[in-house]
């Protein structure tokens, strides 16, 4: 029972390159989220999805795009990476609004943009 | 906009000591959650509070939901080395359409054996 799986775990990009981070969950959760974690700033919500085919902006969406074509997958894209996007990225999922405490997080992707 | 303050930012303690951390918000919430993040891992839920004034324990952890609904604290008694990590408060409004959590800036806990 894998829970939430993020790939890759580590990546180094050059400024201007693009990449996609993949999040997969096997719990049949409706809601999925992408957060970034920076020192002293906690976890900030980038984008989220309340179901297959839906996406919405979070607190810090600029420079990122997302897609949720399949219920189990939530993709985070960086079209033109910038050094300010150096961070640790976490994906999370939850069943519905009535299980508010039930966020399950992946183990993170550490991204460095040089 | 909404402000969420978590303190202290970091704590360096000896094994066996008690620890206390808290979060305060400029907004009212009906749910307060506390998460712990082990080094190199994602956060894991420790305690959930759903009622103002509620005091909940989970082993050596005790958390309270403030009466004003704008704050919460987490206490850890008799700390041990495996308590090391970052602790986050995460308030929300239960029953909302998006089930979105807001996270505090975290408290880094280091425990010296």
Determine the Cα–Cα distance for residues B76 and B82; give it in Å rounded to an integer. 12
b/e sequence B84-113, b meaning 16+ C-beta within 10 Å: ebbbbbbbbbeeeebbbbbbbbbbbbebee
Confidence of residue B93 (pLDDT cuts 50, 70, 90): confident
Residue B74 structure tokens: 């987490």
pLDDT at A1: 60
Residue A25 structure tokens: 């969950």
Summarised one tens digit per residue, pLDDT across range B52-70 is 999 999 999 999 999 999 9
Summarised one tens digit per residue, pLDDT across range A21-73 is 999 999 999 999 999 999 878 899 999 999 999 999 999 999 999 999 999 99
Residue B58 structure tokens: 């989970």
Looking at every residue in chain A, the average pLDDT score rounds to 92
Query: Is any Cβ of chain A less than 8 angstroms from the Cβ of B104?
Result: yes
Summarised one tens digit per residue, pLDDT across range B20-34 is 999 999 999 888 999
Interface test with A, best of B92, B100, B103 (most A CBs within 10 A): B100
Longest distance between any two alpha carbons in chain B, whole Å = 45
pLDDT surpassing 70 at residue A101: no
Residue A95 structure tokens: 């069943």
- Cα A102 from chain centre: 17
Q: How crowded is residue B3: how many other Cβ atoms within 10 Å of its Cβ?
A: 8
Tell me what percent of chain A is helix, strand and coil, each rounded to the nearest 5.
Answer: 5, 50, 45
Looking at every residue in chain B, the average pLDDT score rounds to 91
- Across the interface, of A44, A97, A99, the residue whose CB is closest to B96 is A97
């Amino acid at each position: 029972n894998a829970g939430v799986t993020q790939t890759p775990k580590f990546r180094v990009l050059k400024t201007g390159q693009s990449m996609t981070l993949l999040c997969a969950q096997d719990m049949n959760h409706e809601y999925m989220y992408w957060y970034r974690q920076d020192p002293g700033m906690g976890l900030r919500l980038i984008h989220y999805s309340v179901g297959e085919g839906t996406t919405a902006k979070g607190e810090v969406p600029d420079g990122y795009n997302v897609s949720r074509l399949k219920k189990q997958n939530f993709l985070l894209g960086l079209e033109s990476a910038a050094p300010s996007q150096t961070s640790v990225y976490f994906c999370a999922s939850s069943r519905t609004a009535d299980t508010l405490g039930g966020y399950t997080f992946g183990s993170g992707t550490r991204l460095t943009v040089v | 906009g909404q402000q969420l303050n978590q303190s202290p930012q970091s704590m360096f303690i000896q094994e066996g000591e008690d620890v206390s951390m808290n979060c305060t918000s400029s907004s009212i919430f009906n749910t307060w959650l506390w998460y712990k993040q082990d080094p190199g891992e994602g956060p894991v839920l420790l305690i959930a509070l759903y009622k103002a004034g509620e005091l909940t324990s989970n082993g050596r952890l005790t958390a309270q939901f403030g009466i004003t609904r704008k704050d919460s604290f987490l206490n850890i008694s008799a700390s041990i080395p495996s308590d090391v990590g970052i602790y986050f408060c995460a308030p929300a409004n239960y029953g909302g359409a998006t089930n979105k959590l807001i996270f505090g800036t975290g408290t880094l806990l280091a425990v010296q054996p």
